[in-house]
């Protein structure tokens, strides 16, 4: 039986499958089940930057209200359960530390480095093993330069790194004009890992009602192609770990991601569709494949098909179909 353990963000994971941040990683009961079914770690459902900042404003307003009373503001906050959201999150981390052995990675959805990074320390103090920053900047403002959009990422990384000693990873999209350069700069900025790539809420159209409706929230099993290419291109070129996210639905894709150089994969859609037991099925496929190829541990597999080790490095860079355009 091959050893399926892996190192990710300096943490020792018993398996390379991480339960990605989602509604499935929001309760102790589910996290206990994920551990039982073989998850190597869990990324908790994200807190939002806005939730943290609103809580801080709430405290300020409470102070003001003692002297000046702003009834409308206080009414708004009375209905807003943000304080509970934050304390529930910290309690969940605490409960996980007492009830499961696998690393618990806290997660924050953030857009700016303003006001919230101090809160990262509370996550560390509650017992989080690492912190994943889901940085989601949609570069849709045509007045902003690429440099201005990019600066946000480095401001956030530096502000959070100033607050915590636990490992920090960032989860990003592929919306960069110079993706390879940015990945290198993120790694040089000191993050311990990068998750490639997040899958965002996307708008779609209803052509009968003319409404904007949410596109399918789950990935398809072909979506792994984009992270596979970029992990293979970058895994030998940067210091930090890479974790594959989006479209990892089965054992074969898990194997491909490790061959590309991923230290771990993160799964959400396949767990929604197939249940937690699917983790064991994927791990069994990895184990059977490793045995058939005489591999005894993950390090022997990791990066074997990265671009730098390939006999056909140009194959990773091709973006036009060439030959296929000529075929019917
Ligand atoms: C219902 C749902 C909720 C999610 N919530 C979060 C979240 O809170 N934070 C986050 O970083 N990603 C979140 N994601 C994204 C997933 O963590 C994951 O990156 C994405 O779904 C791609 O992986 P998959 O193809 O395995 O689904 C969510 C995804 C789904 C489907």
Could you give the CA distance from residue 279 to residue 41 in angstroms, rounded to a whole number? Answer: 12
Contact residues for 127 (Cβ-Cβ < 8 A; gap 6+): 93, 94, 96, 97, 104
CATH fold, domain 6-326, is TIM Barrel (3.20.20)
Helix (H/G/I), strand (E/B), else coil: 55: helix
Q: Is 107 in the pocket of ligand 1 (CB under 6 A)?
A: yes
- Structural domain boundaries in the chain: 6-326
What are the two backbone dihedrals, phi and then psi, of residue 112, each rounded to the nearest 5 degrees?
A: -145, 170
pTM: 0.92
C-beta 171 within 6 A of ligand 1: yes
Chain Cα centroid distance, residue 106: 10
Probe ligand 1: pick from 16, 21, 193, 194, max atoms within 8 Å of CB?
Answer: 21
pLDDT tens, N- to C-terminus, the chain (328 residues)? 999 999 999 999 999 999 999 999 999 999 999 999 999 999 999 998 888 888 766 655 554 444 444 444 445 445 556 678 899 999 999 999 999 999 999 999 999 999 899 999 999 999 999 999 999 788 899 999 999 999 999 999 999 999 999 999 999 999 999 999 999 999 999 999 999 999 988 899 999 999 999 998 999 999 999 999 999 999 999 999 999 999 999 999 999 999 999 999 999 999 999 999 999 999 999 999 999 999 999 999 999 999 999 899 999 998 877 666 667 6
> DSSP 3-state assignment of 24?
helix
CA–CA separation, 253 and 290 (whole Å): 14
Q: How far apart are CA 63 and CA 275, in angstroms?
A: 47
Query: Is the CA virtual torsion 286, 256, 16, 295 positive or negative?
Result: positive
Short-list 93, 125, 117, 120, CA closest to 26: 93
Residue with token string 């509370």: 122
Nearest to 48 by CA among 214, 201, 216: 201
Q: Is the shortest distance between the CB of 258 and ligand 1 below 6 Å?
A: no
Return the half-sphere exposure (C-beta side, CA atoms, 13 A cut-off) of residue 65. 15
**Could you tell me the distance, in angstroms and rounded to a whole number, from the CA of residue 126 to the centre of ligand 1?**
23
Q: How far apart are the first and last CA of the chain?
A: 46
Tell me the residue length of the chain. 328
Give the integer Cα–Cα distance in Å for 56 and 63: 11
The structure tokens listed for 99 are 């009830």
């Amino acid at each position: 039986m091959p050893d399926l353990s892996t190192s990710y963000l300096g943490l020792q994971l018993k398996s390379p499958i991480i339960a990605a941040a989602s509604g499935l990683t929001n309760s102790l009961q589910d996290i206990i089940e994920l551990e039982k079914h073989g998850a190597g770690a869990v990324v908790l459902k994200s807190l939002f930057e806005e939730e943290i900042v609103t809580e801080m404003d709430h405290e300020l307003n409470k102070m003001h209200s003692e002297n000046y009373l702003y009834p409308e503001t206080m009414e708004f906050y009375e209905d807003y359960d943000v304080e509970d959201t934050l304390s529930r999150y910290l309690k969940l981390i605490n409960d996980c530390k007492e009830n499961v052995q696998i690393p618990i990675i806290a997660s924050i959805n953030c857009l700016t480095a303003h006001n919230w990074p101090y809160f990262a320390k509370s996550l560390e103090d509650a017992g989080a093993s690492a912190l994943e920053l889901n940085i989601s900047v949609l570069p849709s403002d045509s007045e902003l330069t690429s440099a201005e959009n990019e600066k946000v990422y480095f401001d956030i990384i530096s502000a959070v790194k100033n607050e915590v000693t636990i490992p920090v990873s960032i989860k990003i999209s592929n919306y960069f004009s110079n993706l390879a350069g940015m990945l290198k700069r993120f790694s040089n900025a000191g993050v311990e890992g990068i998750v490639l790539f997040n899958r965002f809420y996307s708008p779609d159209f209803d052509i009968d009602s003319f409404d904007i409706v949410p596109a399918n929230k789950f990935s398809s099993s072909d979506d792994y192609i984009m992270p596979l290419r970029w992990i293979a291109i970058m895994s030998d070129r940067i210091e930090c770990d890479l974790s594959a996210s989006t479209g990892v639905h089965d054992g074969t894709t898990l194997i491909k991601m490790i061959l590309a150089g991923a230290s771990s994969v993160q799964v959400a859609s396949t767990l929604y569709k197939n249940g937690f037991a699917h983790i064991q099925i994927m791990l069994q496929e990895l184990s059977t494949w490793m045995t058939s190829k005489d591999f005894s541990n993950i390090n022997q597999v990791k990066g074997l098909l990265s671009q730098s080790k390939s006999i056909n490095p140009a194959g990773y860079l091709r973006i036009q179909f060439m030959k296929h355009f000529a075929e019917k």
